[in-house]
Structure 1
Amino acid sequence: MPDPHLFALPCGLTLVFEARSGPGFALELRVPVGAAHDQHGREGAAGVLEEWLFKGADGLDARGLADAFDDLGVRRGGGVTAEATRFTLSGLAGDLGEALTLLARVLRAPHLHDDEFDVLVDLAQQDLEGLQDSPADRLALAMRAATFGNGYGHPVSGTPEGLSALTPDDVRDVYARFGAHGAVLALVAPLAPEEARALTQRIFGDWAPGSGARVPVEVREGVRAHIPDDSEQTHMTVCARGIAPRDPDWLAWHLALTVLSGGSASRLFHEVREERGLAYSVSAGAQIIGDAAVLGAYAGTTPDRAQETLDVLRAALAGLRGGVTPEEYMRAREALVSSTVFSSESLRSRAANLARDWWLFGETRTPQQLRAQVEAVTLPQVNAFLDRYDLGPLGVLTLGQEALV
């Protein structure tokens, strides 16, 4: 697989291009405006905007836009995260120019008519109401709010108070931030690199810069909180200090995380579920925002077994300092290598990986390069990292009938 090509366009847009033979294309465009950019008291603006953009643009109403994409046979997707708004397209390579032009019309000339606004707010409120039916999701949001702060703690759909106060002009103010500066377009297509650059320059070359600067992240450690709830289960999250994406220990940390929670042979699965039967659902993973990372371990169990489950979670995290065995290391390495291979097979997943790599690391890698990097991390290196790995003060957030200690 050829190396990706990077082009910094004069307008401020970064093009990450990978040539791949075949009949199709896939792309992901990330604009650095997300839910964290919502004004305090107007939470939900970025989420409403993403839906509003496709209600009409550049002379086409909502039906006209949908028909235009459908006529091209293009699959469209995307969504809003805390940090960015994502737009994805995939289809036949011969339709790439028209599809990219259509997306540019949506981004650069949306109608944003007032008469569509109330319906979109109602839909966002329905999303929020649905969130209340998922204790695990509520706890995850509470963890993010307590740990990251600075606008990162509310759902993309907003808050009831924010949506009630939201006006069309509030959302238009968020749209005014949209632009080329800081945005990244990841494209996988059967083109020559210069063809891809010229196409992108022709369509987006005069896109205004916008003002989508990233919102600073403040990580708070050792937070403890309880959310009273009549749920039949007690849900818990334990948070520890993570390793930033550009830290040299990033891959060693991920190998250790895979040992901790990487399938039915992982430590958490064995110690929490198989050995003690404490919880059916248990997992751990990296929570990443910007250049900050947190290790979060989650379990849901019955109230009478909640304290024991929490104790086992904390012990499992502390046990990482003792290192991993050769068998654990090999399983984790093979799991990461396999995920690398499979995630590069489809055009859509490859475009997403290219955008993610540039967004997190400021560089791109071929699957072969990433595989080599994973395989280059030795067992002694992983254990040397774990020996000096400082989990920091553990944070504990619980949701259920009673608080835990």
Structure 2
Amino acid sequence: MPALSQAFPASELWTLPGGLRLAFERRSGPGFAFDLRLPVGSAHDPVGQEGSSGVLEEWLFKGAAGRDARALQDAFDDLGVRRGGGVGPEATRLGVSGLLDDLGASLRLVADVLLRPDLPENELPVLTDLARQDLDSFQDSPTDLLALEARRVTFPRPAGSPLAGFAHPPSGTLEGLEALTADTLRAHLEAYGQAGAVLGLVADLEPEAALGLVSDALGSLRPGRQPGAEATFQAGQRVHVPDPDAEQTHLSLTAPGISPGDPRWLAWQVALTALSGGSASRLFHAVREERGLAYAVSASPVLLGGQGFLTAYAGSTPARAPETLEVMLAELARLPQGLSADEFRRARSGLRASVVFGAESMRARAGALTRDVAVFGQVRPLAGLRASLDALTLEGVNDFLTDYDPVSSMTIVTLGPSNV
């Protein structure tokens, strides 16, 4: 078996003069993958112009550097690359993967999209109409509606903030889409630049060659801005959203967690994996296997505004929803009692496996490089991350859990035909 230093190659991290951070990892093979994160998402839409980031991301690909939308798509297709990305609450991402010989051309195409977009105004009515259709689809998805309402209750927009915040999807709102114009979207584009941007790149190149390709393609990107949307947690809220036609009652629970820079971060990850990390996890066993209360039940960490939060979800029949909530709260309240040795062993092993297998794909690794720099401020070497997991002990995790009480400040939002 190869040594960890050989199995997990070293990474490089540079900051371009304009502020763009490049995280690079060399990996042998014929391909490449890069993931560009621009720190502007739907939470940064201007108030009254909700949908700006989502519509703008679509508009950027309607032509660039003299190519119309079809020619731009053909240019990507001619390279044979896979393109992905999208708009989230706090960032817009552009990902490309393909053969190594096409890396430079792919970077230049992305640079054309960001630096030299055509932004044809005749496309805007089509894009805003598509966004409205996406909003219509939310009405048919109780889980999406619940997630939006939970964000609105749990992380309301601070009074006086010019940013729309977390209580709308990337598609925006009907009122916000109506207010969008070519001029407002062009003004919003000025935020998309090097400030706070991160590019994760995996390819078989000398580090200096990788830096040169990225600098040549993206070094002239506008300065941009790094807006910050506040995620001010509202503790102890209890809200029910009536939906008389729903066949299920959906439950959303949110509580403070651990921030990425906190030394207890990995201990928290182990605890959440024991809580909801497979068929042996506490929530799955107590809610589904023992009592048959819900088909779907889960808990996971969420990062907003640089902070960590625990979120949990379940969907149950209206008659059994109160019991489902009771059991979920009981399992969360049991966390300060600590994990058993078997729970700790399974949870840590699961995280260790995810570290190794998550690095197998170039695309996944490029995304992980970007996330590490954006969230932790540095690349977490895989060998070091695995060593940190190995160094965790049952006693250490349980010491952390002694003081971790998510239930006391939990905010609960439910959606269904009757209150829970």
Q: Do these two structures clear the TM 0.5 threshold for a shared fold by scoring above it?
A: yes
2:119 aligned partner: 112
Cα offset, 1:336, TM superposition: 0.6
- Unaligned ranges ≥5, structure 1: none
Contact residue 13 and residue 183 of structure 1 kept, 8 A: yes
2:358 pairs with 1:369: no
Establish whether residue 68 from structure 1 lines up as the match of residue 75 from structure 2: yes
The whole-number CA distance in structure 1 between the counterparts of 2:181 and 2:78 is: 34
Cα displacement string for residues 319-359 of structure 1 (whole angstroms, at most 9, x for unaligned residues): 00110000000110111111111110010000000001111
Q: Which letter does structure 1 place at the counterpart of 2:43? A: A
Q: Residues of 1 paired with 2:79 and 2:412: CA distance? A: 50
2:290 counterpart residue number? 275
> In the alignment, which residue of structure 1 is the partner of 2:223?
209
Question: What residue in structure 2 maps to residue 12 of structure 1?
Answer: 19
- Partner residue of 1:34? 41
Instruction: Identify the residue that residue 65 of structure 2 maps to in structure 1.
Output: 58
Shift of 1:244: 0.7
Question: Is the CA contact (8 Å cut-off) linking 1:281 and 1:300 kept in structure 2?
Answer: yes
Match of 1:198 in 2: 212
Residue identity in the other structure for 2:178 = S
Per-residue CA deviations over 1:200-234 (Å, capped at 9, x if unaligned) read 11122222201233323222221211110020111
Q: Which amino acid in structure 2 is aligned with residue 341 of structure 1?
A: V
How many Å apart are 1:173 and its aligned residue? 1.7
Q: Distance in 2 between matches of 1:294 and 1:311?
A: 20
The TM-score, its normalising length taken from structure 2, stands at 0.94
Q: How does 1:383-394 map to 2 (within 5 A)?
A: 383-391=398-406, 392-394=408-410
Instruction: Report how many residues are paired.
Output: 404
Partner of residue 257, structure 2: 242
Could you tell me whether the CA contact under 8 Å between 1:283 and 1:297 is conserved in 2?
Answer: yes
Q: Match of 2:350, as an amino acid?
A: A
Mapped contact 2:338–2:401 kept (Cα < 8 A): yes
- Which digits, 9 at most, give the CA deviation of each residue in 1:124-174, with x for residues without a partner? 111111111111121112112222233112101111221122222222221
CA distance in 2, matches of 1:390, 1:299: 20
- Out of 298, 309, 320, the position equivalent to 2:313 is 298
Return the alpha-carbon distance in structure 1 between the equivalents of residues 338 and 195 of structure 2. Answer: 43
State how far apart, in whole Å, the 1-side matches of 2:119 and 2:156 are. Answer: 30
Q: What is the deviation of 1:291? A: 1.3
**What is the root-mean-square deviation in Å for CA atoms of aligned residues?**
1.1
Query: 1:314 maps to which residue?
Result: 329
Answer yes or no: is 1:398 the counterpart of 2:405.
no
Asked whether the equivalents of residues 236 and 412 of structure 2 are also in contact (C-alpha less than 8 Å), the reply is: yes
Cα distance in 1 for partners of 2:354, 2:150 equals 27
Q: What are structure 2's unaligned runs of at least 5 residues?
A: 1-7, 158-164
- Aligned residue type for 1:320: L
Q: Distance in 2 between matches of 1:280 and 1:342?
A: 28
For 2:229 and 2:207, locate their aligned partners in 1 and report how far apart those are by CA, in whole Å.
Answer: 33
Bigger mean CA deviation after superposition, 141-150 or 119-128:
141-150
Of residues 206-215 and 87-96 in structure 1, the stretch that sits farther from structure 2 once superposed is: 206-215
Shift of residue 11, structure 1, vs aligned partner = 1.1
Displacement after TM superposition at 1:51 (Å): 0.5
**1:229 maps to which of 237, 243, 254:** 243
Compute the displacement of 1:78 (Å): 0.5
Tell me the equivalent position of 2:184.
170
| Structure 2: distance between partners of 1:224 and 1:109 | 48
Equivalent in the alignment of 1:265:
280
- How far, CA to CA, are the matches of 1:126 and 1:378 in structure 2? 50
Cα distance in structure 1, aligned partners of 2:396 and 2:233: 27
